[in-house]
Amino acid sequence: MLDEKTIEIIKSTVPVLEEHGEEITGRFYDLLFQHHPELLNIFNQTNQKKKTQRTALSNAVIAAAANIDRLENIVPVVKQISHKHRSIGVKPEHYPIVGKYLLIAIKDVLKDGAAPEVIQAWEKAYGVIADAFIGIEKDMYEQAETQKGGWKDYKAFQIDKKVKESKEITSFYLKPEDGQVLPEFKAGQYISVKVYIPDTGYTHIRQYSLSDVSGKDYYRISVKKEGIVSSYLHDQLHEKDSIEISAPAGDFVLDPDSKKNLVLISAGVGITPMISMLKTVAKTQPQRNVLFIHAARSGEYHALRHEAEEAAEHSSVDTLFIYSEPSEQDRSENIRFREGRIDKQLLEEVMTDKDADFYLCGSPSFIKEMKKLISEFNTPPESIHYELFEPQLSMV
């Protein structure tokens, strides 16, 4: 536990961190990779270039400082981050390295504002926060390894099948090379894929949602071609090739005890975890009312549509597809779609019961807009769940 003086000093630094946070975290990452280039094999360098990771870390440091006297307030976020850390392979030995260069970055940026007592207070606080992460992640590593069919870190899988789902999205059916049974996963979880791309000099790790139900002899990911790793998967990897993946992780999952109606709203490649949720509910809770809303540019950009339609045929599922730029082919086919975008009027029209569990997945702007619309129905925050593709609060 931290003493009152340390807590007081940490909380007093919040305004300074709010002003200089991203400068500090930018300096931190520069120092980290300069002195530990091996960590380039863990960190997403695309997010580094876009500066989204430094923003996420800055937000995390500010949140930790503001809640340093009641860290239980950020436990849900810590667990969310820890899922990602376990998935990509963050280990206890990484935390002292991060702490060292974070403190140096604070000194470098704040200069005279980083008095010795401030640095000492942050050194203590970081130790407490790091211990919380290490403890939670230790349990997650043990669970991943000791569960039936589980494994430690990464395991070799073969691409059993590649299926083009839309103009931009391809599904990869992955089977373990050792032929062992696969661990169960919760609908909405993801796996990390680790690949070495020639000419880049280091490995790349990306998270992809599992897009099918659990209990099969394969894991399926449905990947949009939009960056260096996804392009490598699409263009350079073929059926029978091998890739390494981590065991499933993530806390964006269905509440197994909820009996409320379920509303799944997605856009673009955000459909991937939603299809897993939809097919799981259709299989395990066929009487539960589900409204499945998906937005896409047009039919040729709409992946996994037939699987959503099939789920609706055999359970209490209602589907609605929204196309912003429908083609003539879309109009000629027997597809239930509406032209336009998801707005409040549409939601009011199609939602018969607004006391529901809402799950959202898509771009940050899409999530922000959907949260705003749903909140206007006086939906409690705990009933709105979402998954972002951008970095969120992250300590490393």
Query: Both tokens of residue 225?
Result: 């071609």
What CA–CA distance (Å, rounded) separates 95 from 107?
18
Separation CA 281–CA 214 (nearest Å) = 12
Greatest Cα pair distance, the chain, in angstroms, is 71
One DSSP character per residue, 277-314 reads HHHHHHHH-TTS-EEEEEEESSGGG-TTHHHHHHHHHS
Residue 269 annotated as part of some ligand binding site:
yes
Question: Of 136, 145, 37, whose CA–CA distance to 85 is shortest?
Answer: 136
CA distance 366 to 270: 10
188 is in an annotated binding site: no
Whether residue 200 is annotated as binding a ligand: the answer is no
Say whether 272 counts as a known binding-site residue.
yes
Collect all residues with Cβ–Cβ distance below 8 Å to 210 and sequence separation of at least 6: 185, 187, 189, 190, 191, 219, 220, 221, 248, 272, 273, 276
Is 207 annotated in some ligand binding site?
yes
Q: Is there a binding annotation on residue 386? A: no
Q: 317 among the known binding-site residues?
A: no
- Which one of the listed residues 29, 101, 126, 137 is annotated catalytic? 137
Amino acid occupying residue 320: L
Query: Is 273 marked within a binding site?
Result: yes
268 annotated ligand binder? yes
Strand extents, DSSP E, the chain = 154-164, 169-176, 190-196, 203-209, 219-224, 242-246, 261-267, 290-296, 317-323, 337-339, 356-362, 384-388
Examine the residue annotation and report whether 218 is marked as an active-site residue of this protein. Answer: no
| 8 Å CB contact between 224 and 211 | no
Amino acid at 112: D
Q: Is 357 helix (H, G, I), strand (E, B) or coil?
A: strand
Catalytic annotation, pick one of 95, 126, 301, 359:
95
The answer to whether the annotation marks 101 as part of a ligand binding site is: no
Residue 222 assigned ligand-binding role = no
Q: Is 187 in contact with 166 (CB distance < 8 Å)?
A: no
- The CA angle 310-312-314, to the nearest 5 degrees, is 80
Active site (annotated) includes residue 95: yes
| 270 annotated ligand-binding residue | yes
Which residues are part of a known binding site? 85, 190, 206-209, 268-273
Which residues are part of a known binding site for heme b? 85
Which residues are part of a known binding site for FAD? 190, 206-209
Active centre residues (catalytic): 95, 137
Which residues are part of a known binding site for NADP(+)? 268-273
